[in-house]
């Protein structure tokens, strides 16, 4: 938690214009409308809050999806949540002319929820129910379909593509405080459901037959985990766009601290993911001064080698 607090403070202080700690404190004690205080209150603090919420949501969602599918390569995209949110945002921009996060955040939530539910019901159809393999296959198929539709819409409408491309990169700079407050409620609800699904995830790690022999209600438990993953991943995508690798790599880091028990993996993921996301955002500010690299670009560049190192070092430890 000390590292998380230090990262949050660094996120507020560091940028194109370095802010002194005294100016940050004065923002709340003696606001005088100075440039430094406006930067802190209207830019840096909301940006840091988005990093905290989106990071925690991505970390929890990634851990849930890896436990749910028993697939160490699973991330928020495995249930087509990112693709569903992206298509809904594109539809809102093209059909309704919405151009701000406050306008299309609800469409992102709706698209994420519908995509996640559709993947689950597709996987549940037929013999055997929603097995890990069927969930992964249904998610991959639906992701490809939704991505194709999204591309078609953006290619047909240049103005839609112009708005969409900034959101699709992944950034912490677009959300307003009102949107952050709404997203925080969804993240809190998803986190509560995630904590409630730890027994199911621990049982699934032993195999479904063993979990049933222990008296667990597998289908109900999976529904809770899927609902939590959709809420969390949808919140992160709505706030910051589709950010890659955070939800994929952080649960592996969490296992280094918490072992294989999801009662520890989930809290560690919720703490480590905001640290990773905010650190990547700070790095993006420093590397391209006086411009900025958006956090989605930074995580994409550094995420792949970090994940390869984790794979080689831990050899995809059993979930």
Q: Write out the chain's pLDDT in tens, 319 residues.
A: 889 999 988 888 887 777 777 766 766 666 666 666 677 777 888 889 999 999 999 999 999 988 887 777 777 777 788 889 888 888 888 888 776 666 777 888 788 888 888 887 888 787 777 776 787 788 889 989 998 998 888 888 777 777 777 777 788 876 677 778 888 888 999 999 999 998 888 888 877 777 777 667 888 888 888 889 888 988 888 888 888 888 888 998 898 888 888 999 999 999 999 999 999 999 988 887 778 888 888 888 887 777 677 666 655 444 4
The beta-strand segments (E) located in 27-98 are none
The first and second tokens of residue 185, run together, are: 């409620």
Would you say 276 and 246 are in contact if contact means Cβ atoms under 8 Å apart?
yes
Domains of the chain plus CATH, in order, are: 2-314 (1.10.3470.10)
Please report the pLDDT score of residue 200 as a whole number: 87
Report how far residue 269's alpha carbon sits from residue 255's, in angstroms, rounded to the nearest whole number. 9
3-state secondary structure of 72: coil
The first and second tokens of residue 239, run together, are: 């706030």
Would you say 250 and 272 are in contact if contact means Cβ atoms under 8 Å apart?
yes
Would you say 150 and 163 are in contact if contact means Cβ atoms under 8 Å apart?
no
Cis status, amide bond into 263, omega within 30 of 0 = no
């Amino acid at each position: 938690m000390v590292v998380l607090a230090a990262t949050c403070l660094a996120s507020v202080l560091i940028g194109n214009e370095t802010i002194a700690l005294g100016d940050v404190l004065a923002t709340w004690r003696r606001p005088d409308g100075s440039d430094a205080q406006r930067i802190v209150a209207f830019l840096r603090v909301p940006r840091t809050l988005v990093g905290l919420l989106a990071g925690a949501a991505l970390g929890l969602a990634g851990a849930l999806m890896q436990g749910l599918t028993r697939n160490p390569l699973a991330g928020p995209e495995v249930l087509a949540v990112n693709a569903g949110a992206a298509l809904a945002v594109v539809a809102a921009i093209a059909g309704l002319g919405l151009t701000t996060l406050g306008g299309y955040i609800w469409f992102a939530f709706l698209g994420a929820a519908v995509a996640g539910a559709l993947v689950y019901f597709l996987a549940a159809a037929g013999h055997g129910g929603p097995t890990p393999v069927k969930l992964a296959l249904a998610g991959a198929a639906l992701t490809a379909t939704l991505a194709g539709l999204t591309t078609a819409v953006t290619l047909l409408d240049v103005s839609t593509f112009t708005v969409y491309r900034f959101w699709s990169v992944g950034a912490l700079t677009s959300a307003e405080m009102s949107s952050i407050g709404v997203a925080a409620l969804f993240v809190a609800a998803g986190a509560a459901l995630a904590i409630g699904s730890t027994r199911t995830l621990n049982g699934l790690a032993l195999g479904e037959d063993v979990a049933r022999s222990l008296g667990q209600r597998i289908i109900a438990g999976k529904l809770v985990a899927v609902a939590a993953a959709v809420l969390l991943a949808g919140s992160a995508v709505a706030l910051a766009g589709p950010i890659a690798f955070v939800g994929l790599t952080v649960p592996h880091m969490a296992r280094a601290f918490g072992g294989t028990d999801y009662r520890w993996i989930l809290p560690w993921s919720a703490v480590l993911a905001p640290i990773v996301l905010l650190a990547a955002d700070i790095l993006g500010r420093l590397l391209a001064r006086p411009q900025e690299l958006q956090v989605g670009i930074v995580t994409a560049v550094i995420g792949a080698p970090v994940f390869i190192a984790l794979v080689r070092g831990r050899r995809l430890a059993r979930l």
